[in-house]
Structure 1
Amino acid sequence: MKRRLAIFGVALVAVAASFVVYAQQASAAVGLHISGRNIVEANGQQFIMRGVNHPHVWYTSQTSSFANVKALGANTVRVVLGSGKRWGPSTDVANVISLCKTNRLICVLEVHDTTGYGEDGAAATLDEAVNYWISQKSALVGQESYVVINIGNEPIGNNNPAQWTAATTAAIQKMRSNGFQHLLMVDAPNWGQDWQNVMRDNAQTVLDADTQRNTVLSIHMYSVYNTAAKITDYLDRFQAAGWPLVIGEFGWQFNSGEVDHETILAQANARGLGYLGWSWSGNTDPILDMATNFNPAQLTTWGQRIFNGANGIKATAKEATIYSGGTGSPSPSRSSASPSTSPSPSRSASPSSSPSPSRSASSSPTGGKACTATYSIVGQWPGGFQGDVKVTAGGSAITAWTVAWTFANGQAITQSWNATITTSGAAVTARNVDYNGALGAGASTNFGFLGSSNATNGIPSLSCTAS
Structure 2
Amino acid sequence: MTIPQTRLKWWAGIAAAVCAGAIAMFAAQPPAQAATGFTVSGTQILEGNGTPFVMRGVNHAHTWYTNQLSSLANSKALGANTVRVVLSSGNRWTRNDAADVTNVINQCKANKLICVLEVHDTTGYGEEGAAASLAQAVDYWISIKSALDGQENYVILNIGNEPYGNTNASGWVADTKNAITRLRAAGFAHQIMVDAPNWGQDWSFTMRDNAASVFATDPNRNVVFSVHMYGVFDTAAEITDYLARFRAANLPLVIGEFGHNHSDGNPDEDTILATAQQYGVGYLGWSWSGNGGGVEYLDMVTDFNPAQLTSWGQRLFNGANGIKATSKQATIYGGVQPSSPAPSSPSPSPSVSTPPPTGGCTATYAATNSWQGGFQGDVTVKAGNAAITAWTVTWTWPNGQRFTNNWNAVVTTSGETVTAKNAAYNGRLAAGASTSWGFTASWTGTNTAPATVTCTAS
Counterpart in the other structure of 1:111: 119
Letter in 2 for 1:294: F
Q: Which one of 72, 84, 107 corresponds to residue 78 of structure 2?
A: 72
Counterpart in the other structure of 1:435: none
Q: How many angstroms does 1:236 deviate by?
A: 1.3
Does residue 13 (structure 1) correspond to residue 20 (structure 2)? The answer is yes
1:314-333 counterparts in 2 under 5 A? 314-324=324-334, 328-330=335-337, 332-333=339-340
Counterpart in the other structure of 2:311: 301
Q: Structure 1 residues 114, 254: closer, same or farther in 2, change over 3 A? A: closer
Does residue 29 (structure 1) correspond to residue 35 (structure 2)? The answer is yes
Counterpart in the other structure of 1:202: 210
Counterpart in the other structure of 1:217: 225
Counterpart in the other structure of 1:155: 163
1:19-418 counterparts in 2 under 5 A? 19-22=26-29, 24-25=31-32, 27-91=33-97, 92-253=100-261, 257-284=265-292, 285-324=295-334, 328-330=335-337, 332-333=339-340
Q: TM-score, normalised by structure 1?
A: 0.68
CA-to-partner distance for each residue in 1:394-442, whole Å, 9 max, x for gaps? xxxxxxxxxxxxxxxxxxxxxxxxxxxxxxxxxxxxxxxxxxxxxxxxx
CA-to-partner distance for each residue in 1:167-200, whole Å, 9 max, x for gaps? 0000000000000000000000000000011111
Q: 27-36 or 227-236, which moves further after superposition?
A: 27-36
Q: Structure 1 residues 255, 165: closer, same or farther in 2, change over 3 A? A: closer
Extract unaligned runs of 5+ from structure 1.
Answer: 334-467
Q: Is contact 1:114-1:155 (8 Å) kept?
A: yes
Name the SS of the counterpart of 2:257 in structure 1: strand
Structure 1's consecutive aligned runs of 4 or more residues displaced over 6 angstroms after TM superposition are none
Q: Distance in 2 between matches of 1:71 and 1:295?
A: 12
Q: Distance in 2 between matches of 1:110 and 1:259?
A: 23
Q: Distance in 2 between matches of 1:107 and 1:282?
A: 19
CA-to-partner distance for each residue in 1:133-177, whole Å, 9 max, x for gaps? 001100101000000000000000111101000000000000000
Q: Is contact 2:162-2:198 (8 Å) kept?
A: yes
Letter in 2 for 1:54: H
Q: Is contact 2:230-2:262 (8 Å) kept?
A: no
Letter in 2 for 1:209: T
Q: How many angstroms does 1:33 deviate by?
A: 1.0
Name the SS of the counterpart of 1:224 in structure 2: coil
Extract unaligned runs of 5+ from structure 2.
Answer: 341-458
Q: Distance in 2 between matches of 1:208 and 1:331?
A: 38
Q: Distance in 2 between matches of 1:248 and 1:38?
A: 15
Q: Structure 1 residues 166, 17: closer, same or farther in 2, change over 3 A? A: closer
Q: Distance in 1 between matches of 2:272 and 2:339?
A: 23
Q: Distance in 2 between matches of 1:156 and 1:132?
A: 18
| Larger RCO, structures 1/2 (Cα 8 Å, 6+ apart) | 1
Q: Structure 1 residues 109, 256: closer, same or farther in 2, change over 3 A? A: closer
CA-to-partner distance for each residue in 1:271-304, whole Å, 9 max, x for gaps? 0000000000000021100000000000000000
Q: Distance in 1 between matches of 2:22 and 2:326?
A: 32
Name the SS of the counterpart of 1:74 in structure 2: coil
Q: Distance in 2 between matches of 1:265 and 1:14?
A: 28
Identity, % of aligned pairs?
Answer: 61
Letter in 1 for 2:260: W
Give the aligned length.
329
Q: Structure 1 residues 205, 71: closer, same or farther in 2, change over 3 A? A: same
Counterpart in the other structure of 2:446: none
CA-to-partner distance for each residue in 1:47-96, whole Å, 9 max, x for gaps? 00000000000000001101000000000000000000001210111000
Counterpart in the other structure of 1:430: none
Name the SS of the counterpart of 1:148 in structure 2: strand
Q: Structure 1 residues 24, 321: closer, same or farther in 2, change over 3 A? A: farther
